[in-house]
Structure 1
């Protein structure tokens, strides 16, 4: 039985209008260079411009891979905790979030997991491994990591990714997912790391 190797990439740095910046394009090309050694067959990206542009830059280094949009990768809040699960420091973030918005986000999150977070279908892929890149946003990556760890739904909060960081989750039939790499920025020079994170300088 083959394994699915899911390479999760947060889009490169973007401006206040959600468009990829020159820094973001460079970051995306560097993660593409890193993945060029991997037999990637598909690059999936969010419909939003910053992710679509990042995928185009990255895919230059993966000429064997098809590049396609996946609606499930759109930026969304995957789970709004009820009051008894709500970390106090996050209460303001969810202030005013209504039931319809919360339900829509959870449906998108469930669809994301259903489409990508599983071992490959042997009827389609035989015993071959599958290598796919998902170019998406901070929250969907957090949700997929939370799912891989079988953590409580509210635990997606606080699982953050830097722009163009790489996370790798592997799925094999009959086994729990393997979180092999998390928020790895080894392909980025020091001045391009930790963008997309608020707060103090990082190591």
Structure 2
């Protein structure tokens, strides 16, 4: 029986001087976090590393890749920084206290009704003929969405999950059981 195991990692800490701009790179601490992450994951038999195109995620993946020299890596549109925002007809599925917060989500991060994030789960959450381990270097809300999906939690639950920089969350799909959360926000290597 085959399985797919996804290692979901939030990028390293962004340089505060960048004021959280999309082009902002890693801080010195973020580079150290990425190096520690790479050392921790160096023995995992990854088939691929997928990373967001944003500078902080690309730099994290580059540093981690130094510990995974034979693993192919590439920028991947499925793991870009997205915020699942409800359409007006779906707003009632979210707690009232968060409704106003959605107005501040930047246009380039908005993923109405999580259409793109649902596609990401569908793309990565498949089981092939043999075991597969893949690393996704991404962003907090993307990881929250995957965890919410695996736990079959309410649609808004991604908002209550916070991932530390370079922490490891592992989710797994098997051909003989529902998806499972293996670990969440593991920071033991940091």
Runs of 4+ in 1 over 4 A off after TM superposition: 96-105
Q: 1:99 to 1:61 in 2, by over 3 A?
A: closer
Q: Alignment partner for residue 74 of structure 1, among 80, 101, 110?
A: 80
Q: Secondary structure at the match of 2:31?
A: helix
Q: Larger % of strand: which?
A: 2
Q: How does 1:109-124 map to 2 (within 5 A)?
A: 109-119=117-127, 121-122=128-129
1:178, CA displacement in angstroms? 1.5
Q: Which residue in the other structure is 2:163 paired with?
A: 161
CA contact (8 A) 2:111 2:117 kept: no
The yes-or-no answer on 1:62 pairing with 2:64 is no
Q: Which residue in the other structure is 1:108 paired with?
A: 116
Per-residue CA deviation, residues 179-203 of structure 1 (Å, 9 max, x unaligned), is 1110000000xxxxxxxxxxxxxxx
- CA RMSD, Structure 1 to Structure 2 (Å): 2.2
For 1:100 and 1:62, locate their aligned partners in 2 and report how far apart those are by CA, in whole Å: 31
1:154, CA displacement in angstroms? 1.2
Q: Alignment partner for residue 138 of structure 1, among 132, 140, 158?
A: 140
Q: Which residue in the other structure is 1:44 paired with?
A: 50
Q: 1:105 to 1:59 in 2, by over 3 A?
A: farther
Per-residue CA deviation, residues 77-122 of structure 1 (Å, 9 max, x unaligned), is 1242734223233222113669998555622112211111222x22
For 1:101 and 1:64, locate their aligned partners in 2 and report how far apart those are by CA, in whole Å: 32
Q: Which residue in the other structure is 1:9 paired with?
A: 9
Q: 1:103 to 1:29 in 2, by over 3 A?
A: closer
Unaligned runs of 5+ in 2: none
Q: 1:9 to 1:150 in 2, by over 3 A?
A: same
For 1:85 and 1:21, locate their aligned partners in 2 and report how far apart those are by CA, in whole Å: 37
Q: Alignment partner for residue 185 of structure 1, among 160, 166, 187?
A: 187
Which is worse superposed, 137-146 or 19-28? Answer: 19-28
